[in-house]
Each structure stands twice: as C-alpha cells, then as structure tokens.
Structure 1
Amino acid sequence: MTDTPITRIEQHLAAASAAIAAELATVADPVERQDIAREVAETLLPRLGAEVKRGRAAAVAELKEGRTLKEVGALLGGLSIARVDQILKGAKQ
C-alpha cells in the first residue's frame, strides 16, 4: 500500500470505526446502545462530513483565485460552473 494522504485518512477512519464499534459493544443495554449508535449516525458523522466539505471548499476557493468558475471546473475534471459555485457556497454554511 502506498503511503498517501488518502491511504492515511482511510487508516484513520478504519481505526475510528473500530473504536466506535468496540465502544458500542461495551454497552449492555440494547436500548442505550441503539440510542448511542443513533447519536453517532445522526450527529457526529454529519459533523465529520461538514468538516470534510469545508476542506474541499477551501481547496476550491484556493483554485478560484485568479480563475473563472469555468476554469476551476475544468481543473477539477470537468465540473460544471454551477457545481463549482455550489461547492464554494457550501463552505459558508
């Protein structure tokens, strides 16, 4: 396996997933375990997703400096102007 940012992130996520599963396994009461799992799925994981989206938007904003949305879209593999704009606006939410 090549050591790249994406492989390191995959390793971090795998470790976090294993830790969450292990922590859930310590909760004997199935109702409480379900409540905790729901909280993770509905609150904590969306926070992670939002953080990743902010990172993506920051990278796109960096690309936008001195470029049109069309040029940025082309750099990102042919994304539409609307999609580039959407990514940029997503950082402000």
Structure 2
Amino acid sequence: MTDTHTATLARIQQHITDAAAAITAELDSVEDPVARQALAAEAQALLPELQRAVKAHRSATVAELKQGRTLAQVAEMIGGTTSLVDQILKVGAKK
C-alpha cells in the first residue's frame, strides 16, 4: 500500500464518518421518537445506493484496466483472481 493509497483511504473514511455524524445529528433533531425512528429507517434504506455507486465505480475502473489486457493480467494487477475480475466486470455490465 502506498502513502497516497493510505491517505486517500483515510480521507474516504473521514467522509463516511462525517456523513454518519451529520445524519445522526439530523435524526437527533427530531423530537418525536416515532418520527425519528421512521426517518432512521428511511435513511438506512438509502445506504444501498452508496454501495451501488462505489461498486459501479470499481467496475468502471476495472473495465478501464481491462482495455488491451487479459483477465489474468488485470487479476495480477489488482491482486485478485480472474474470477474476481470477471465478477467485477459483470457488475458494471448490469447497469
């Protein structure tokens, strides 16, 4: 892992921590516990969208790596298997 990788991951983790704190503060501002609970459930339902966005970005990046390369070459580059590369690419194809 490079210093740049580590620093970028730390910034991403901080963004997630900041977002969680902002969401929690927003929920805490709702006095009615029934309404707060309902909003928390709705907010929780939004989380898969974040996961989809990150998966799509990963898939697009692996597709970029795949240009002119074999699955095995890409697998070696990312430290995975050809099956993993194929699976990641298929996620992007489903969009």
Q: Tell me, what secondary structure is at the counterpart of 2:31?
A: coil
Q: Tell me, what secondary structure is at the counterpart of 2:23?
A: helix
- After TM superposition, the score normalised by the length of structure 1 is 0.86
Query: Aligned pair count?
Result: 90
Structure 1 ranges of 4+ moved more than 6 A: none
- Larger relative helix fraction: 2
- After TM superposition, the score normalised by the length of structure 2 is 0.85
Matches within 5 A, 1:66-77: 66-77=68-79
Aligned twin of 1:56: 58
Identity %: 49
* Long gaps (5+) in structure 2: none
* Long gaps (5+) in structure 1: none
Deviations 1:47-72 (A, max 9, x none): 11111111111110111011111111
| 1:32 aligned residue (31, 35, 43) | 35
RMSD: 1.6
